[in-house]
Structure 1
């Protein structure tokens, strides 16, 4: 047998939490890092996200290339990383919707990207509840009862009727006036793929019948704006947090490619890379494209985001929100 050589880097012994000391949730979370497997990936994700939130421009050294407008110390201490949050539609179908709302409410992220379902399910939950069911419920029986299954969640057809009744007049009003009230930019490049698309279809026919103006969606303007979120971001560094894969993941990563790659990255999904689909692509593949900087300590957690994201927020964003509410300076936040 070969003798064990010296392990470099951040290698540490595998050790879990000892419940003989009682139940200490903070200590349990801290022990994730040394537990092994995906628990260690979770611990790494907590560290990466905290690095993302802690970063300030003042952490970077001044050089001869630093522009004059970036040299003021107060300005440098005020510049934080720009954070992109991407999530698939099932995240708003689940209870993660309330966590995403919390982050938006407290302005913890700067840009959000989701699919059409991620937008419409948020509206629908304001109008009627989604129910917890079972993965094993028979599809034919559910269809007969007017219930739509998403995993083990059930959404009644009536919810979509309420959404149509709500959204149709809103879209008609948008033909007359448009306002912007959000401080957080929300991008949905696939807005036509879902219930919103059905409403747009019905609205088109309604407007045709009355020979009224048609609602037009300008995706080219959206992609310019999304690309500028990264290209025009300096002197900010950029961090990405992505729940799930597909469109939301690639749209954020591709925009960051244009600006040399994200500086921080945390991915949470269950997809594997063997079929070449971007959903399962690891952070190292993203580095090969330049979507994530090769110097980034990017982390992918292979797990259901409904399990991981609440704990991740509890260890990163939430303590900062609580500290800010109590008037505690950010440097004293024990995260």
Structure 2
């Protein structure tokens, strides 16, 4: 590899591609596959997002991908949805704070690595989401998770919200683990004296139609967990994904899904025989912005 003056991100990634199948080479392969999938009108892109990616700085990147038509399905955790809403309601994610965790708790601060939240922001979140839940409950008593998130997105005023842009662009958001989040907790509290039921099975009716209607599917898996499995397992209905990119720091030795090599998915028919699979081991918040920047350069050529 050679690093030159005034290199673009893509220039650097293409140099990284000269390193074979080590980490740098995999970033190059993943970037090219991502760009090829976006450019292919017959390919639907399923983006799964696990871990604290909104607090970790990827909110605007995911927003822009949806806004530009580069994502067809978003699958994520309830936590990322919650943090998107926290920012939509005027809250934030803060840096540069250093204190003992017990002291942080006393001062109404929560910690995600070296990113911090304020309990006041969550108090505002609780107030605002309760108002939205009341409006939804006036319209429907039973609603799928995807419809639920669509309704919330339509009621948000923040022009930088992932939920809002997905609703505007008609990109479905699936969050099968939504109850395991602050949003899920608020929903449970709301249902103590009001009626509103989430129909998780209802999502599968729609998602299966998307899978069967898609000519080809590329899954872009940021982190592992439930979002990764939901993206792959939904495609089992048609023999698996045609291509997949995985960016993870989890290891395969424990047998967990999060660290499982993508090739393992072939044994379950979650990835097709001959599918194009690229795994990059590393921090999503470092690697994915590079991939997106590189892919955008390729598309703009």
Name 1:132's counterpart in structure 2: 95
Name 1:268's counterpart in structure 2: 247
Name 1:231's counterpart in structure 2: 212
Name 1:219's counterpart in structure 2: 200
User: 224, 242, 246: which is aligned to 2:225?
Assistant: 246
Does the aligned pair in 2 maintain the 1:115–1:189 contact within 8 Å?
A: yes
Q: Structure 1 or 2: larger strand share?
A: 2
Name 2:50's counterpart in structure 1: 88
**SS of corresponding position for 2:16:** helix
Deviation at 1:227, TM superposition (A): 2.4
| Cα distance in 1 for residues equivalent to 2:225 and 2:133 | 27
Q: Which has the larger radius of gyration?
A: 1
Counting matched residue pairs gives 273
Name 1:188's counterpart in structure 2: 175
Deviation at 1:319, TM superposition (A): 5.7
Does the aligned pair in 2 maintain the 1:89–1:115 contact within 8 Å?
A: yes
Deviation at 1:177, TM superposition (A): 2.4
Gap regions ≥5 residues in structure 2: 141-150, 155-166
Q: Using structure 2 for the length normalisation, give the TM-score.
A: 0.85
Deviation at 1:52, TM superposition (A): 1.5
| Cα distance in 1 for residues equivalent to 2:225 and 2:207 | 17
Deviation at 1:133, TM superposition (A): 4.2
Does the aligned pair in 1 maintain the 2:38–2:70 contact within 8 Å?
A: no
Name 1:330's counterpart in structure 2: none
Gap regions ≥5 residues in structure 1: 1-15, 56-78, 208-213, 321-332
Deviation at 1:125, TM superposition (A): 1.5
| Cα distance in 2 for residues equivalent to 1:283 and 1:292 | 8
1:221–1:318 CA distance, 2 compared to 1 (3 A) = farther
1:260–1:152 CA distance, 2 compared to 1 (3 A) = same
Does the aligned pair in 1 maintain the 2:13–2:27 contact within 8 Å?
A: no
How does 1:25-174 map onto structure 2 within 5 Å?
A: 25=8, 26-36=10-20, 37-55=22-40, 79-126=41-88, 127-133=90-96, 137-174=99-136
Name 1:17's counterpart in structure 2: 2
| Cα distance in 1 for residues equivalent to 2:207 and 2:296 | 24
Deviates more, 1:167-176 or 1:224-233: 224-233
| Cα distance in 1 for residues equivalent to 2:262 and 2:51 | 22
How does 1:254-293 map onto structure 2 within 5 Å?
A: 254-293=233-272
1:265–1:194 CA distance, 2 compared to 1 (3 A) = same
